Amino acid sequence: MRKVFQAELHQIGEGLIEISSLVIDAIENSTTAFAAADLEAAEQVIAADARIDFLQNDLDERAIDVLALQGPVASDLRMIVGSLRMSASLERMGDLARHISQLTRLRYPNQVIPAQLQATFAELAALDIVIARKVAELLDTRDLELVNDILTAKASISKLHKTVFSAMGSPDWHETPATTVDVTLASRYFERFGDHGVSVARKVSYLVTGEWQPEDFLAG
């Protein structure tokens, strides 16, 4: 019976890794489409999000079955409850990548972001990709050194997010209301993607150490 239980736990862990891999694809493809105003690539990201949703629902159902049938305690219970919460964060990361692609589709054939902020959004995109890759590696290896990398990337995203709003509030901002709304939404999507990556990182840290860290912790 114990072997079956451990196999079920392993499958849940593998499910998280699979979802995180799809999230990498989603953010890489959505940011590429976003930068190039590529409608076809954006449509592919939007369609692919259904796979992430399906895998999250499947993982959650299996985790709930384990809770109901196996009655796990201690670290095993932390693992299952943590997996439920991490799958929700990963699914939301996929949604945010989809939202970025939906903005691309909405404004096609035009660029969503005006020229003066395109470099800033390219940096935001690169940092979100770093977070997605580090999260997937963290789920696979449980190497807590990766948590610092994720937190550092998120700190940079937060600074860039603030510069976007500073730019929109400056006297030099002469974009249309529609563009201003698009830029606001896009910056928020990129920023929230990083937030959910940090959420996963904090939960993995808790599973490994048994200690819950405050939201603003930075190791070292």
106, amino acid identity: L
Which band of pLDDT confidence, cut at 50, 70 and 90, is reported for residue 12? very high
pLDDT tens for 145-166 read 999 999 999 999 999 999 999 9
Give the number of C-alpha atoms closer than 13 A to the C-alpha of residue 109, restricted to the C-beta side. Answer: 0
Counting beta carbons within 10 angstroms of the beta carbon of residue 107, is it exposed (0 to 12), middle (13 to 18) or buried (19 or more)? middle
pLDDT tens for 87-96 read 999 999 999 9
Q: Note the pLDDT of residue 4.
A: 73
- Mean pLDDT computed over 74-93: 93
Residues 33/34/35/36 CA torsion (nearest 10 deg): 50
Nearest alpha carbon to residue 129 among 119, 140, 118, 137: 137
Q: What is the dotted CATH code of the domain comprising 2-209?
A: 1.20.58.220
Which band of pLDDT confidence, cut at 50, 70 and 90, is reported for residue 126? very high
> What are the φ and ψ backbone dihedral angles of 179, each rounded to 5 degrees?
-65, -40
137, amino acid identity: E
pLDDT tens for 32-64 read 999 999 999 999 999 999 999 999 999 999 999
Three-class secondary structure of residue 109 per DSSP: coil
> Residue 56 in contact with residue 90, Cβ under 8 Å?
yes
Q: Which residues contact 50 (CB under 8 A, 6 or more apart)?
A: none
Q: Quote the CA–CA distance of 36 and 34 in Å, as a whole number.
A: 6
> Residue 146 in contact with residue 41, Cβ under 8 Å?
no
Residue ranges per structural domain of the chain: 2-209
Place of tokens 């901002």: 173
Q: Note the pLDDT of residue 213.
A: 66
- CA 199 remoteness from chain centre: 9
